[in-house]
Amino acid sequence: MKPTLFIFAKAPLMGKVKTRLAADIGHVHAVRIYRAMTAKILREMQDPRWDTILYVTPDKYVGASFGGLWPKDMTRFIQNGGGLSQRTAKLFTGKGPIITIGTDIPAMQRADIAQGFKALKHNKAVIGPAKDGGFYLIGLNAPADTNLFDGIRWSHPKTRKDMCAAIDGRIAFLRELEDVDDLAGYLRYKNLGRGYFVC
């Protein structure tokens, strides 16, 4: 069965994305950076080895392209409300190896996804750890328990610890990466020599 990659994607609306970053640099520049990060991830993560699906919110924008930011030929699913635990669990109700990521880690590469699917051949789950205690990638051999994500403290220093405790089986770990959530994170990314954005 062909693996599936789901990408959480929020419509790039002023005042609705990267609010922590916007507090440092303003909403206009925050949206510009968010669009650049999203474009990089969507371009980088498409690969014939897996199906790539855009997991969209708010639902009413499922058919939008935002000037080509969301590729028109990319399959889209709507998140359809609920908390993050419920929306994530829905992705793992199908069959086969499934990975999900967001658009907040521009240092992520296609090779990370390939390594994740490779790890799922011999492990129950794969996690890409984020420096803040969370994770930028999670993969499972679906279907998974629909309650798997219920006890996860999202956006918390122990998010990853909660997730690991909930998984019954061997977990593989990828390299650690950092979210771009605020100005400090953005500047650290630029200083890595991978600068991509212009404020």
3-state secondary structure 94-143: CCEEEEEECCCCCCCCHHHHHHHHHHCCCCCEEEEEECCCCEEEEEEEEC
Give the pTM: 0.94
As a whole number of Å, the CA-based R_g of the chain is 16
> How many whole angstroms separate alpha carbon 36 and alpha carbon 81?
26
Domain ranges for the chain, please list them.
Answer: 4-194
CATH of domain 4-194: 3.90.550.10
The answer to whether 137 and 116 are in contact (CB under 8 A) is: yes
pLDDT tens for the chain, 199 residues long, are 899 999 999 999 999 999 999 999 999 999 999 999 999 999 999 999 999 999 999 999 999 999 999 999 999 999 998 999 999 999 999 999 999 999 999 999 999 999 999 999 999 999 999 999 999 999 999 999 999 999 999 999 999 999 999 999 999 999 999 999 999 999 988 887 554 443 3
Tens of pLDDT along 9-51? 999 999 999 999 999 999 999 999 999 999 999 999 999 999 9
Q: Can you give the pLDDT at residue 136?
A: 97
> How many whole angstroms separate alpha carbon 52 and alpha carbon 175?
21
Q: Can you give the pLDDT at residue 198?
A: 38
Q: Can you give the pLDDT at residue 90?
A: 96
Q: Can you give the pLDDT at residue 193?
A: 53
